Structure 1
Amino acid sequence: MYDPTRLAALVAVAEAGSITRAAERLGYTPPALSQQLAKLEREAGTPLLVRHHRGARLTGAGELLVARARRVLDELERARHELARLTGLSGGTLRLGTFQTAGVHLLPPVLSAFRRAHPDVELTVADYEPPAGVAAVAAGEIDLALTHTYEPADPVPVPASVVLEPVLVEELVLVTAPGHALADATSRLPLSELAGQPLISMAPDHPARQGVEAVLARAGATASVLVETPVYALVCALVSAGLGVGVVPEMVARTAVTPVGTRALEGGELRRTISVARRAEGATPAVDAFGALLRGAFARA
């Protein structure tokens, strides 16, 4: 039996004319989408696409399968809509909170999938720098919040009415200007080699960063520039300009707009955990459905 996700991938390529454009539409990376298509071709036992320098086109078998796939996907969409009416997902509002990195790089594909499955639910999204999103959930201002904590750091109290579900743990990595000597290696960098390095640092009084800053200070890194608001894009831009080095979550380094060199740090004890905050009781069907989509998306990430 064919996987509906892979059928949808094939339809997207047929409509977009290339794997790259289809991947952007679906919220995948091109390599990840190529893997899904390769699995579908193995299931079909025949090539479905012909890649060329301008994109990709369907083979005869691909055209046949796309025609059937559209019917299957249309039926599944109807089924989702009918089930939504039965489970209370045919209306109402889902209020979401997120911090910047997750909001830009992880949340949009999930929002898109939720909207396709439940088009009648109104979505609102607000920015909450952690841990403000947890407090907003506790106060009933929003239904779900993406938040994060750092290690090492002092634990942040969580209201008894709120449940935190970790969905992604990522290491912090070194970012440097392109070509910097510290980034010119594949081995993990000992923290001791940061001694004397000018550090583009988050403000030391930022609660989520205090433990990380303390570890870097013990290693001998010296603050060069303090970024008083927690905006990693600015940290990476200053690093890229050669004003110092930085230590940021791996996702931030991978998606930096400005060019940076990266290197993993020895020990791996500097980490960021991304969690979903929701109320412990009284979850609505929309909250449950969106939470399930989030878990699936973060597992792929």
Structure 2
Amino acid sequence: MYDPTRLAALIAVSEAGSITRAAERLGYTVPALSQQLAKLEREAGAALLVRHHRGARLTGAGELLAGHARRVLDEMERARHELARLAGLSGGRLRLGTFQTAGIHLLPPVLSAFRRAHPEVGLTVTDREPPSGVAAVAEGEVDLALTHTYEPADPVPLPAAVSAEPVLVEELVLVTQPGHALTSGTSRLPLTGLAGQPVISMAPEHPPRQAVERALAEAGATPAVVVDTPGYALVCALVSAGLGVAVVPEMVARTASTPVGMRLLDPGDLRRTISVAYRTDEPNPAADSFRALLRGAFGRSAAAG
């Protein structure tokens, strides 16, 4: 029987077109992902990938297995949903906390799927900027909270009886005014390339960003504007106006409402992990079903090692 984690890895390579990009999406190192794929090839008894100078593509056998893998993983998620329904979701409510980026770009499709599956469950969504969402779960104010952590970061322990399940791992990228020389290249920009650049500092006293801000300072970036509240829309607007450059999550850069240039950084170890926090000591079928939907929608970008 094929390991679901390895099947998810094969699908990620198919979608990303590269083992390196797939590893970044899944939160693996490249050697670790290559090892998982090699094991899958041994299980399948056939070559599943062809590597080339621009990345990797699936062989005929790989495409065949990936097609079946998608159906298998989708069926597993469907089974989770149906089991949750059997556990009793004929009413009640689900209280969700979220921060703005996740609320706009991640929650709507999952909420729509949850509403279709469980139309009798009441939904409440509140604004919970990390790390306040985790505290709200611990205190019973919400059932689930989308939160985030950054790398590098100082470790912050979770409250008792609260766990966090990764939903999405993304790199932090450079954003600039359109046409800026720093985003004109196609290769990764060394972090030292920001030395002397006017940087819009993103909430330097905000706990999740503090270590990232230190990394930028160590690279020689010069704070030009300090934004004291965690608002990436404002940061991108200031960047677009030419007031400086910034380092933001890739999702933010790709969905910015103002035009910005974007470039990946080297090394690509500045990251943001979006997770869903939940209580482990209280049964909650509605929360379990919603977490299953999140895994189905985004879990292939945050597969566990």
- Whether 1:238 aligns to 2:223 is no
Shift in alpha-carbon separation, 1:81–1:144, aligned structure 2, 3 A = closer
Mapping for residues 248-287 of structure 1, pairs under 5 Å:
248-287=248-287
Contact between 2:84 and 2:288, CA under 8 Å: does it hold in 1?
Answer: no
Contact between 2:81 and 2:292, CA under 8 Å: does it hold in 1?
Answer: no
- Whether 1:289 aligns to 2:266 is no
SS in 1 for 2:163: strand
Mapping for residues 13-162 of structure 1, pairs under 5 Å:
86-162=86-162
4+ aligned runs moved over 2 Å, structure 1 = 80-87
**Paired position in structure 1 for 2:205:** 205
Distance 1:267 1:87 in 2: 46
Output the TM-score relative to the length of structure 2: 0.71
Structure label with greater radius of gyration: 1
User: Partner amino acid for 1:181?
Assistant: A
Distance 1:299 1:188 in 2: 26
Distance 2:231 2:172 in 1: 15
Percent pairwise identity: 77
Shift in alpha-carbon separation, 1:300–1:256, aligned structure 2, 3 A = farther
Structure 1, unmatched stretches of 5+, are 1-38, 44-79
Output the TM-score relative to the length of structure 1: 0.71
- Whether 1:220 aligns to 2:237 is no
Shift in alpha-carbon separation, 1:85–1:214, aligned structure 2, 3 A = closer
Distance 1:143 1:81 in 2: 18
How many residue pairs align between the two structures?
Answer: 226
Contact between 1:84 and 1:118, CA under 8 Å: does it hold in 2?
Answer: no
Distance 1:114 1:158 in 2: 27
Distance 2:93 2:297 in 1: 21
Contact between 1:165 and 1:275, CA under 8 Å: does it hold in 2?
Answer: yes
CA deviations on 1:24-62 (whole Å, 9 max, x unpaired) are xxxxxxxxxxxxxxx9xxx9xxxxxxxxxxxxxxxxxxx
CA deviations on 1:85-128 (whole Å, 9 max, x unpaired) are 74311100000011111100010000000000100000000111
Shift in alpha-carbon separation, 1:280–1:180, aligned structure 2, 3 A = same
SS in 2 for 1:275: strand
Distance 2:233 2:112 in 1: 24
Shift of 1:84: 7.2
Contact between 1:197 and 1:221, CA under 8 Å: does it hold in 2?
Answer: yes
Shift in alpha-carbon separation, 1:85–1:271, aligned structure 2, 3 A = closer
**Paired position in structure 2 for 1:192:** 192
Contact between 2:133 and 2:147, CA under 8 Å: does it hold in 1?
Answer: yes
SS in 2 for 1:97: strand
CA deviations on 1:255-279 (whole Å, 9 max, x unpaired) are 0000000000001111111111000
Contact between 1:81 and 1:118, CA under 8 Å: does it hold in 2?
Answer: no
Distance 1:285 1:217 in 2: 45
Structure 2, unmatched stretches of 5+, are 1-62, 68-79
SS in 2 for 1:239: helix
CA deviations on 1:134-179 (whole Å, 9 max, x unpaired) are 0000000110011000111111121121011112111100000000
Shift in alpha-carbon separation, 1:106–1:99, aligned structure 2, 3 A = same
Shift in alpha-carbon separation, 1:83–1:90, aligned structure 2, 3 A = farther
Contact between 1:84 and 1:90, CA under 8 Å: does it hold in 2?
Answer: no
C-alpha RMSD of the superposition: 2.2
CA deviations on 1:235-264 (whole Å, 9 max, x unpaired) are 000000000000000000010000000000
Distance 1:81 1:200 in 2: 43
